[in-house]
Structures are given as structure tokens and as C-alpha cells.
Structure 1
Amino acid sequence: MTRSTHPHARRTAAAVALLCALTATTQAPAHADPGPAPTTLDGVRRQLDSLYHRAEVATDKYNAADEKAKAQQKKVETLNRRVHRAEQQEARLKTLLGAAARAQYRGGGLPAVVQFALSSDPRHALENATLAEQTRQTTQDQLTELEATRKELRERTDQAGAELNDLRASRRAMQENRDKIEKRIAEARALESRLKAKERTRLAALEKKAQDESQADWVGTGILNEVGTKAGAAGRKAIAYATQQIGKPYVWGAEGPDSFDCSGLTSQAWLHAGITIPRTSELQWARLPHVPVSQMRPGDLIIYFSDASHVAIYIGNGNIISAPRPGRDVYVSPAGSMQILGVVRPDA
């Protein structure tokens, strides 16, 4: 005799099966085969985490490309201003050369020695010859300067063109990254939207449980007995700014004032504290001074994952403020709930 199954259990199993099929078909082909599709809600949670992580990596690459494009745009604008100044200088030299040529024409255009021989006033002729020689030398100097100016102008123009080409290439890369981001975010949202309310609640509970377990492991090392408890003056300002943003939505590529991504929040927090730091989490990790996790203090930035794709600001008592991912708001969460790569201190 076949054993009957409770209707709710059948619905849950069907929902998981549907999600498993969906996750199996939303893998980006550029990534390696992730293995078997998940068969439980916890497996789905892990799959969602993977999708959002990949989206965050793509977001960081987009932000880096955007920063590069902005920097190149400033270089191009500077070069164009220099080219414009060179053109003005060239026009001025042409005017001076024209004036010198007209003066020579008014003098008859004769060589100085001939003018001296034909003159009835040798002293006056000698003065004219000296002036003519000075004018000739000045004209020659101006011609030399004009040649150099034209050469520099050509070099600047070529350099400006090269910078423009780099800028266009960066923008193309930026657009490709944006497309990847939007596709991955859509995949993750599609996964969540297929869950029923009860499954979404269970999924959230599983996510919180995983965070709590990770935090417990981290706290269990005794790390909070070693870390600092007092922020520096700038760190306090950065924390105050980040605190004011709690509840605002995560939006990829955003750096306020109404929405943020993870590095947009941390870079703006420190900017409002009077310190400019790199825009992306990857560059924040690469360029800011590192401090041991055991020596971190409130205001420091915690960099997460081996690819430095996530960042949050440490606020003390084992907590962080971060912009977590699409569909979520800026919030306070456990510092040890994710894989910590290291800590950087903008005001070291």
C-alpha cells in the first residue's frame, strides 16, 4: 500500500523542486559547472548567495570601470585645454610674424648692407641695419618657437586622441559589466519571487541562522576581547554618516544620497568624515593601510571574501553597517557573518 503524503509537504517539495530547476537553468555559462542542483531550501539559499555574490563582483568591476572613465575624461578635458592654449599661442606668433614681415616690407625689403651703401646718412643707415638684424634674429627665434609649438600641439592632439580611445573602451567595458549585473540581479530576484510566503520566511530564517552561526564562530575565537572600542575623530564622523543611511535601499553603482551599494556607502561615509578613499571595495583593500583584525577599531572597514568584493564599516560590539545586496536596505548586521578577508583603516 502506498503511504499518503501531507498536502503541505507536497507543496513544499514541489516548490523546492521548481526552485532547483530554476537555479539549474540560471547559471551563467561563463562560470564553471556548479555541480548538482540544490535539493533543499538551504541549498537554494546557498545558490541565491552565489548569484548575489557574482552580481556584487560584477558591480565592483563596473564601479572600477566607471572610475577609470571619469579619470580619463578629466585627462582628456585637461589635454583639450592645453591644446586650446597652444592654438592661441600659435595664433599670437603668427600675428607677430606678420607684423615683422610688414615692417620689413615698409623698409623696402633690401638687405641691410645695400641700404647702408645707398644711404646719404651712414649713421642712420647703421642704426637701421642693426635694427634690421635684430628684427631678423627675433623673427628667426619666433619661427623656431612656432615650430616647437606646432610640434607640441600635434603631440598633444595625438595624446588626446589616444585618451579618448581609452575612454571609449572603458565605457564599452562598463556597459558590458552593467548588462551582466542586471542579468544576475534579475536571476536572483526571479528565484526569490518563485518562493511562496512560507518558503520566503523559512529562507530568511535559514539565512539568519547561517549568519548567527558564522558570527558565533568568529566571536568564539575571543577576537572581541582584543579589538579596539574607540573610534578616531574621523571614524566617528564616518560611523555617524553611515548610521544616518540605515533603511536606504541597495542599488548597484549608487553612492547616495538616496541609495547605495556596499563601497558607495563606505566611500561616502569617509568622504563626509573629510577623507577621500577609493570608490570600490577592491581598491579600498588594495590602497588603504591594512591593520590586523585583532587591532581593528570602530570606523575601520572590513573587507569580505577572497576577491574583496564586499565591504562594510565596523561600528563596534561585533557589528557592522553595510549595504548588503539588491532587494535589501542598509542595515546593522554581525561583523563575522561573512568571510573576512581583512581590515583597512582610512585614517591610519
Structure 2
Amino acid sequence: MAAHRKPRQRPMAGGTARTAATIALASAATATGLDGTGHAEPQLTPGQVRAEVAELYRQAEAATEKYNGAKEEADEARQRLKGLQDRAARSQGRLDEARQALGSAAAAQYRSGGLDPAMQLALSDDPDRYLQNAEFVERAGDRQGAAVRRVRSRLREIEQLRGAARVELNSLRTRQAELQRHKRTVTGKLGSARRLLSRLTPQERSRVGGSSDRATRSAGARDTLAAPAPATAQAPGPRAAAAVSYAYRKLGSPYVWGATGPNAFDCSGLVQAAYRSAGVSLPRTTYSQIAAGRRVSRSELLPGDLVFFYAGISHVGIYVGNGRMIHAPNPSAPVRVAPLDEMPFAGATRVV
């Protein structure tokens, strides 16, 4: 019997060993995934890394535009809240004045003894003078009633203002929560992109910012040297020309998410700053900027037109002619001249 048991135990022991090895490998893989220091990730070619980084940048930029929108809404809610608080403070001051006037009238009435008018007339040494005083008292009573109504009105106004302020405070807190959520998304995407970029050589990393072929770089250099005279001459108006000139002056400025200048920009921040320099106020986000002017087709583009990319309208540049734009691409590339074909074209708007 013992001889028959031993063969059955050997497979069990082998299975147990294999199970233990499997668990150990799984544990190691789990630990690697948790501490982020393992080397179990698939080996990617430089081209695959660039493609993944480009996609992470696109996702980060979409989240950046949502962040910008939430920040704009939070700023507006904060301003409305401050306005309501200022109005409530002014109304409180008027309430205090009305209460003080009402208190003075009540004290005066108390000091007068509040005698019945007929008794006061009977006891008066000068009935004519009393009758004149009685008329004054009636008018004073009317004023006291008006003072009471003013107090009630101020109380209602303050309660309404406080109610509106509570609504704005809740709105502000909601926007602030959105800001933090979008900020975490942006920083997470950018962190992943940096880790992928660390696998590349400096020469390979230099190609991530966009089209990097020699012809494109040469075209960009010519545009920089030519600076904006040809583009501004073709612009549909002086404000568009001024915006193009501003964009040319900012070539080489770094991309910083959420930045609106004067020394760093994200994509919509550059567009907003360029037109602000020309005296035109634009919304903060790409998905608002596309609705800020008259839509034009790609074949109608003129320098100064805003050009938008991707289905979610998550990127924008300023058209400068000859099929090219100036834009703030991503953290791996500064403000630069680039071809429109660098990204999927989504539409264009003429602001002025």
C-alpha cells in the first residue's frame, strides 16, 4: 500500500512546486507594478514610444482644456460670490441705520409716556399748541411705520443675498473639485510621457515635439527669419495682423500647461494672449474659442484665423499662411511654426 501511495504524492509535490513558483512570479510582477521599478514592460521601438507619447500629450491637452474651463468658471463664481458678499455688507449697513432710527423713535415714544390723545388734550394748558403737536406726532408715527417697513425690506434683501451667496459658494466648491480632478489627469499623463521619453536618446526625444523632418524644420526656420510681414499683409484686418505679429514674437517660448503668457503658454493660452494684445477678448478654452468668431473652411483660411484639431477640439493654433500655423505643441516642443497637416484638422474660425 505504501508503495502505491508514493507515486501519487510525487505529482502532487511537483504541482505544489509549480504553484509556488507561479505565485512567486505573480507576486514579483505585482510588486513590480506597484513600485514602478520593474522591467517587465514590453520593449517598444523609438517610433512606438513617440506614438505613445504623442497620444499621452493629446490626452493631457484635452484634460488641460477642461482644467482651463473649470478654472475660468471658478474665477467667475469667485467674482460673483465676492459681489454678493459686498452687496450683503452694504445692505447690512443700511439695515443697521434703519434699526438705529427705529430705536430712536421708540425711545422718544417711551419718554413721551404714550398718554391717550384725548387725555393729553384735557390736561393741556394750551389746547392749540397740543393740537399742533398732535399733528406732528401723527406724522412721526407715519415715519416710524416707514422705518419698520425699511427694516423688514433690508432683512429680506440680506436673506436673499445670503441664499444666492450659498449657491455661488457651492458652485465654486464644485469647480474647485473639477480643477483638482483635471489637474491629476494632466499630471498623470505628463508623468507617463516623461517616463516613456526617458527610454529615448536625446536625438530621438528631439523628434517628439511634432514633425521633425528636415524640410519642415527648414520651412519653420524660413518663417522665423521672414517674420511676420508676408502673413500680416495677407491678414483680413489690423487686429488679426497684430495677433499674428504677437505669435511670431513668441516663437521659442516654452509650453506650460495652463499658462497664458507672457513668457510661457499652452495652446489656447497662446491664442488668447495673441488676440488680447490686439485688443480682442477671447474665451479661455479651445471648445469656446471655436465659437468665438465666424466659421471658415480650410480653403478660405487667412493669416490670423484660428485653426482647431482633433475631434474633441482639444488643440488650436494661429494660421500664418502657406498651409502653416504657429502653435504651442506640448511640453517637448516650444512655440513653433508647423504644418496644418501635423494633426487631424477639425475646423477654423475667423475672429475679426
Q: Same fold (TM over 0.5)?
A: yes
TM-score using structure 1 length: 0.79
Separation in 1, partners of 2:119, 2:289: 76
1:271 pairs with 253, 268, 276, which one? 276
Which among 319, 328, 334 is matched to residue 329 of structure 1?
Answer: 334
Q: Which residue of 2 aligns with 1:144?
A: 149
Partners of 2:291 and 2:171 lie apart in 1 by 23
Query: Is 1:292 equivalent to 2:301 in the alignment?
Result: no
1:236 aligns with 2:241: yes
Query: Which position in structure 2 is the counterpart of 1:10?
Result: none
Larger Rg: 2
Q: Secondary structure at the match of 1:143?
A: helix
Matches of residues 74-93 of structure 1 in structure 2 within 5 Å? Answer: 74-93=79-98
Correspondence for 2:212 among 208, 214, 231: 208
C-alpha displacement of 1:39:
5.9
Residue aligning to 1:341: 346
SS in 2 for 1:92: helix
Query: How far apart, CA to CA, are the structure 1 residues paired with 2:287 and 2:208?
Result: 28
Give the superposition deviation at 1:110.
Answer: 2.0
- Give the C-alpha shift of residue 267 in structure 1: 0.4
Q: Look up the equivalent residue of 1:126 and give its one-letter code.
A: L
Distance in 2 between the 1:198 and 1:296 partners? 35
Matching residue within 71, 83, 102 for 1:97: 102
SS of aligned partner of 1:257: coil
8 Å CA contact 2:209–2:330 kept in 1: the answer is no
State the alpha-carbon separation in 1 of the partners of residues 290 and 81 from structure 2: 28
AA aligned to 1:116 is L
* Seq. identity, %: 36
**Residue 158 (str. 1) matches residue 163 (str. 2):** yes
Code of the aligned partner of 1:278? P
Whether the aligned pair in 1 keeps the contact of 2:252 and 2:335 (CA below 8 Å) is yes
Q: Which amino acid aligns with 2:130?
A: A
Question: Cα–Cα, structure 1 residues 66 and 210, in superposed 2: closer, same or farther, change >3 Å?
Answer: farther
Alpha-carbon distance change, 256 to 119 in structure 1, aligned in 2, over 3 angstroms: same
Letter of the 2:56 partner, please give it.
L
One-letter amino acid matched to 1:340: F
Equivalent of 2:124 in 105, 108, 119? 119
**Offset at residue 82 of structure 1 (A):** 0.4
Comparing 316-325 and 66-75, the one that deviates more = 316-325
The offset of 1:327, in angstroms, is 2.0
1:39-74, Cα deviation, whole Å (9 max, x unpaired)? 654333322221110000010011011101100000
Q: CA RMSD in A?
A: 2.4
Please, which runs of 5 or more residues in structure 1 have no aligned partner? Answer: 1-24, 26-36, 216-227
Count residues with an aligned counterpart.
297
Q: Secondary structure at the match of 1:258?
A: coil
Please tell me whether the aligned partners of residues 247 and 274 of structure 2 are also in contact (alpha carbons under 8 angstroms).
Answer: yes
